[in-house]
A and B are shown apart, each in its own frame.
Chain A
Amino acid sequence: MDTTVINRLGLPNLGLGVGLRSKHYSHLMQNDPVVDWFEIISENYMNNFGYGRHVLNHIASIRPIVMHGVSMSVGSTDPLNLDYLKQLKQLADFVNPVWISDHLCWTGVANINTHDLLPLPLTIESLHHVASRVNQIQDILQRPLILENPSTYLEFESSTLQEWEFLSELVNKTGCGLLLDVNNVFVSGFNHGFDPEFYIRNIPHQSVVQIHVAGPTDCDTYLLDTHDQPVPTQVWKLYQLAQELTGGVSTLLEWDANIPEYPELVAEVQKAKEVLKGHLPNVPVYRTSADAVSNPVNHQMQATHE
């Protein structure tokens, strides 16, 4: 049975990819990258004329690149940061990415950037606000923006829409694409008590351009989006469902802390092939009582020495 409509905004299925991280720079300058494509954290290369940009230049000459941002702050009530968008566009002119993505979130207000992905109340007010900003951003970037569902740890009482409804409406209003992070659906589903499968069944599948998989941390009373572990079985299961419903879209493994050596990273993302054949790896969710960090960003502070 194949009832899926493949559209993806006309964007290609790039296959299996990983994030470009400074830990692997020297390996990648000397070895075949093996994976089909790379995702970069846009902010890490925007004002960077050092080794990172050199490696990026090399990788971009041999593999497709996607730009993934963390500071666009689409949901903030501050004015759009036009300087930021200008620099983002300049980087896009250099990298020629297949698409540009960021998150359905805000990172701060009153000029503060918390470097976190903060949740929005899912209201009609927020929807209008975000839709108008997405339209402006798309006009500036002259391409569709691809938005990712974040992991969230709180919900607002004022929310009248479910996140999948909010995203569907946003797609209708703006024509933006979706980056479906199935790990984030798993994390938020646990934290807020919704069924992750129901969420994935109810987003507009033809607008899903990319999928993220990652390993979260079980902090007992909540799940945290730590990107520092192998992908657990439950997340692979959601991945399998999402690929079935979308008809197959670009897949990216996120691993941002406790980053393994490159061959191990490649082996982890290649598990996706087995999953699509119906073989789910048996991996529990990592548990710890120690302080864990969500959305780790220190990997962006690349080492300047070897």
Chain B
Amino acid sequence: MSELTTLQKWLTSIIVRPGMLDDKIRLADEHYQVKNDKVIRPSLRLSPAQKIEIYSKGYILRLLECMEAEYPALNKLLGQNLFHKFVKAYLVQLPPNSPDLYNLGEAFPAFLKASQPQTYNSDEGVLMYDLPVNLAMFERCIAEVSRIEGLESRAEEGAGNEMPYLFNTTTIYTSPCLKLLTLQFPLVDFIQHVYNDLEPEVPFKQDSFICICRKNYRVNFHELEVWQWHFLNALQNKTNYMAAVIDTANACKVATDTIMADLILWLPVAIGLGYVYLK
């Protein structure tokens, strides 16, 4: 290993590792055969360890701020102390490896899920363990929808003004920036309250079918009726409109005619919110 490589591995390992500064430096010194007081120039005001600490402290504070920006509602639910504890543990397990800060929080919902006990029964347990995971999934989805490719460039070309009730159903597609979630808690209000700087109420457990989408660069998220959610989900995965209708009817145990009749009323709304579009 070149001297430069050794120094970089040595310093990186101190910066990203958890624990007390002196322990981290000692372990890195041992592992890389480096003497911190021989490689870092001391000064009158600061020791080598204090200089390293400026970097190791900055690393955590900087990334905590980024995670707070991506997960404001979760931060609110857990309180900053607990939120920071989870984020720090997350960063230890998965140190950032992408130039893009939007990838930083990508695996956080899965990390929270994996950090839970394997089994628990009480309602209290559900609230304590499942609610944060649900909220994290929701917030991550919002972050993704705000960045992925949508339909805006198409709208700028003048498309999208068709009269919805005249459409040919073979040309209906879901938006590329539509994301669907099933959650165990209704969380739309909670997130809206946090966004508006209001005190959110912790919701009771109840299945919730969520749609997150972007239209004209504005992210919207709503709770859907079960059949609406199933229809969008089926349309994302099935080859055509009729297959999606049949799939929805089966999943919701209602007649296809009923679904089709409901769709005639609802599709203009879905088009308006950008969930689906006519090609």
Looking at chain B's contact residues, is the secondary structure mostly helix, strand, loop, or mixed?
helix
Interchain CA distance A213-B99 in the complex, whole Å: 25
**Also in contact, A54 and B61, with CB within 8 A (given A112-B16, A126-B4):** no
Given contacts A291-B61, A298-B69, 4 further A-B contacts (CB under 8 A): A110-B9, A154-B40, A155-B41, A158-B39
- Note all chain B residues with C-beta closer than 8 A to A112: 12, 16, 95-97
Q: Secondary structure at chain A's binding surface: helix, strand, loop or mixed?
A: loop
A-B contacts, 17 of them at CB < 8 A, read A49-B147, A49-B150, A49-B152, A50-B146, A50-B147, A84-B99, A109-B9, A110-B12, A113-B99, A116-B59, A156-B39, A159-B41, A296-B65, A297-B65, A301-B143, A304-B143, A304-B145
Binding site for A on B (CB under 8 A): 2-5, 7-9, 11-12, 15-16, 38-41, 43, 45-46, 48, 50-52, 54-55, 57-59, 61-63, 65-66, 68-70, 95-102, 104, 142-143, 145-150, 152, 195, 214, 217-219
By the criterion CB–CB under 8 Å, are B65 and A293 in contact?
A: yes
* Interface status of A224 (Cβ within 8 A of chain B): yes
Which A residues are CB-close (under 8 A) to B143? 301, 304
Interchain CB contact (< 8 A) of B63 among A115, A120, A129: A115
The CA-CA distance from A77 to B3 in the complex, in Å, is 10
Complex CA gap A193/B41 in Å reads: 12
Contact B12 A109 (CB under 8 A): yes
6 closest cross-chain pairs (CB), A and B: A71-B99, A301-B69, A298-B65, A154-B51, A304-B146, A51-B217
Q: Please, what's the 1-or-0 string for A96-130, where 1 marks a CB less than 8 Å from any CB in chain B?
A: 00000000001011111111101011010110010
Decide: B195 and A297 in contact? CB cutoff 8 A: no
- The reply to whether the CB of A47 lies closer than 8 angstroms to some CB of chain B is yes
Considering the chains assembled together, what is the distance between the CA atoms of A183 and B166 in angstroms? Answer: 62
A156's contact among B7, B43, B150, by CB below 8 Å, is which?
A: B7
Q: How far is the CA of A222 from the CA of B61 in the complex (A)?
A: 17
User: Which residues of the other chain, A, contact B66 by a CB distance below 8 angstroms?
Assistant: 115, 297-298, 300-301
Query: Do residues B41 and A129 form an inter-chain contact, with CB atoms below 8 A?
Result: no
Nearest Cβ distance between residue A133 and chain B, in whole angstroms?
12
Q: Give the nearest-CB partner of B150 in chain A.
A: A49
